[in-house]
Structure 1
Amino acid sequence: MRHAGELAVQRRAGLDLDGWGSAGAGPEIPAVAAEFLARQRMLVVGAADDAGAVWAGALAGPAGFVRARGDREVVVDAVPEAGPLAGVFAPGADRDVGMLAIEPATRRRMRVNGTARRSGGGLAVRTEQVYANCPKYIQTRTVDAEEPPAGPVEASGSDRLSAAQRAWIAAADTFFVATRADGLGADASHRGGNPGFVAVGDDRTLVWPEYAGNSMYMTLGNLELDPRCGLLFLDWERGRALHLTGTARTDWDPGRAAAVPGAQRLVAFALDRVVEVGGALPLRWTFERYSKFNPV
């Protein structure tokens, strides 16, 4: 389906790429994609809650907990159990979902968008878009061999970022963003850069740069039609998760973008709600190196 938001962003960026973006992403799961999914230990998911707020979260499990079943279905042996996406997926009710399978050790990633419903203790996802992304801006990390002992899962929420949360975001080299648009589905994507690439304005505002990518503009295209979005920051060493929901707008002013190394444009985010979850993920990751594509 042609995506009016993506077309608007592409044209404003000076591109004429008919059939690029959502229109060029097919629903079938190729064999190489099925093999990639079967190796993954973590999956980022994005969806809207019943009130329409968009959130991003992460699921984890042993290799094989995500797998293809046929050429149009992905089975996930996990559901969000803590944080803002808990209870969002229900049996017998399809909900738009964007999923990102990302393998930091090899800097490979794949997006799977479609509709999901709860099936037993997991999710059954009917695919609408399956496609790989380039490795730019992915920091190399490896999963530690030993999983930490299970600890208590603790969640707290607010309408403002605490000083500690602002420091967490300011030091981050990676985050994930979920978006959706009525009738066009949901999407989950990755953003990366050197620490400090996300600017923290105050306790309710963030700004991040949009670097050169694949020009599909699926995130910015959704935001063009619906500014609601969800951000996810992970504490890779301790398993904490920071979930933000709010609205975002693309700043097309070339002067402001020129002040940020590597930025083609900026995105300004206004916070509505933040939820911090301790013990959100059982995985721990060891950092190895920053992407060579990160602007200095």
Structure 2
Amino acid sequence: MFHEGELSVQERAGVRFEAARLSGMLAPGGLSRGAGGWLAERTLAALTGRDRGGRLWVSALTGPPGFLAGLGQTLRVAAVPAPGDPLHDLPAGQRVGLIAIDFATRRRMRVNGTLTGVLTGVLTVDVAEAFGNCPQYIHPRRLMSATTPGGGVPGTFTVAEALTADGEATIRGADTFFLGTTHPDRGADASHRGGPRGFLRAGEGGLWWPDYPGNNMFNSLGNLATDPSAALLVPDFATGRTLQLSGTAAVEWTEPGTGAPDEVTGRRVRFHPAAVVTGEHPALVAAADAPDPRGVRR
């Protein structure tokens, strides 16, 4: 069932009927054998959760095939955010969201639930819901293989209160980022956002991006309608550097086609960062012979 925030955004967007046909995807349930098998082949996931101070973040989790192992109500993640990452010491007992993605085949799966265990190098999630998303806006690329749980040798993480010029350059060159949102009852969620390079804009003290047409469920925008907490993970696939931002976000409604050329839905999301962390993840470097994505895959 959709929650009140999702329903309100669907209503304003005029897609309540279309979305209702997909409501069964959000029914409580675990991981089937097929879903567990697909997850076991992945080497990258993004995790949304709160640090010990209660701030929302999205962190990259990488490892060799098999580091994600799930069946039924349990997902075991044989990786934890690296030392220096804002979620390195995340507390158990909280609701988390995870998205696993395969850029090569343009497939993704979201898994939401409760983080029940945090042991040395292992996270355990009690799965509440798991569902796939369509391949829209996923740019095909082949990541360098992860060699050890956690993504190889941990990089250096630097904390700042505001975006630097280098951070803004990373944002303007990005064609992919991961968005973390949360709902007071349903908990955290991690989603993927993709577009042409430059679709994520920086300026005027924050960031913003157009909301492209999608599956009409509005999980992320619905969460923002109930709780403005938001987080971004922006990877640079050329260098393996990452930009993590935590702050607040809100949906802005305009007339379709009146803003930038790609604002075709009349919806944009404006994000105001309150904390910034830059890091390094060698496993996020794309292979040199990977396809060079141009434009938006629809």
Give the alignment's TM-score, normalised by structure 2.
0.89
SS at match of 1:140: coil
Residues 146, 274 of structure 1: alpha-carbon distance in 2 compared, 3 angstrom cutoff: closer
Give the one of 153, 178, 196 matched to 2:198: 196
Indicate the larger mover: 161-170 or 28-37: 28-37
What is the 5 A alignment of 1:79-98? 79-82=80-83, 83-89=85-91, 93-98=92-97
Residues 268, 134 of structure 1: alpha-carbon distance in 2 compared, 3 angstrom cutoff: same
SS at match of 2:274: strand
Residue of structure 1 in register with 2:250 after alignment = 249
Residue of structure 1 in register with 2:107 after alignment = 108
Question: What is the CA distance between 1:121 and its match in structure 2?
Answer: 2.3
C-alpha separation between the residues in 1 aligned to 2:48 and 2:174? 20
Residues 18, 152 of structure 1: alpha-carbon distance in 2 compared, 3 angstrom cutoff: closer
Deviations 1:115-161 (A, max 9, x none): 11313420111111100000000011112358699656211111111
* Residue 212 of structure 2 corresponds to residue 211 of structure 1: yes
Indicate the larger mover: 145-154 or 95-104: 145-154
The total of aligned residue pairs comes to 289
What is the 5 A alignment of 1:265-284? 265-278=267-280, 280-284=281-285
What is the 5 A alignment of 1:71-220? 71-82=72-83, 83-89=85-91, 93-116=92-115, 117-144=117-144, 153-202=155-204, 204-220=205-221
Residues 183, 261 of structure 1: alpha-carbon distance in 2 compared, 3 angstrom cutoff: same
Question: What is the CA distance between 1:261 and its match in structure 2?
Answer: 1.6
Q: Is the 8 A contact 2:63 2:146 kept in 1?
A: no
Give the one of 39, 48, 56 matched to 2:41: 39
Deviations 1:162-217 (A, max 9, x none): 11110110010000000111111110000001111011114x31110110111110
SS at match of 1:5: helix
C-alpha separation between the residues in 2 aligned to 1:164 and 1:123? 32
Deviations 1:35-55 (A, max 9, x none): 110000011100122333211
Deviations 1:47-94 (A, max 9, x none): 1223332110111111000011x31111000111231111013xxx31
Q: What RMSD over aligned residues (CA atoms) do the two structures have, in Å? A: 2.3
C-alpha separation between the residues in 2 aligned to 1:269 and 1:114? 25
Residue of structure 1 in register with 2:291 after alignment = 288
What is the 5 A alignment of 1:12-23? 12-16=12-16, 17-18=19-20, 20-21=22-23
Amino acid at match of 1:108: R
Residues 256, 293 of structure 1: alpha-carbon distance in 2 compared, 3 angstrom cutoff: closer
SS at match of 1:230: strand
Indicate the larger mover: 42-51 or 255-264: 255-264
SS at match of 1:142: coil
Question: What is the CA distance between 1:25 and its match in structure 2?
Answer: 3.8
Residues 240, 80 of structure 1: alpha-carbon distance in 2 compared, 3 angstrom cutoff: same
Residues 122, 146 of structure 1: alpha-carbon distance in 2 compared, 3 angstrom cutoff: closer
Q: Is the 8 A contact 2:58 2:231 kept in 1?
A: yes
C-alpha separation between the residues in 2 aligned to 1:164 and 1:81? 22
Residues 24, 155 of structure 1: alpha-carbon distance in 2 compared, 3 angstrom cutoff: closer
Question: What is the CA distance between 1:259 and its match in structure 2?
Answer: 2.8
Question: What is the CA distance between 1:15 and its match in structure 2?
Answer: 1.9
Amino acid at match of 1:195: R
C-alpha separation between the residues in 1 aligned to 2:259 and 2:192? 22
C-alpha separation between the residues in 1 aligned to 2:194 and 2:206? 18
Indicate the larger mover: 240-249 or 43-52: 43-52
What is the 5 A alignment of 1:222-233? 222-233=223-234
C-alpha separation between the residues in 1 aligned to 2:275 and 2:42? 30
* Residue 54 of structure 2 corresponds to residue 52 of structure 1: yes
Q: Is the 8 A contact 2:139 2:297 kept in 1?
A: no
Residues 22, 162 of structure 1: alpha-carbon distance in 2 compared, 3 angstrom cutoff: farther
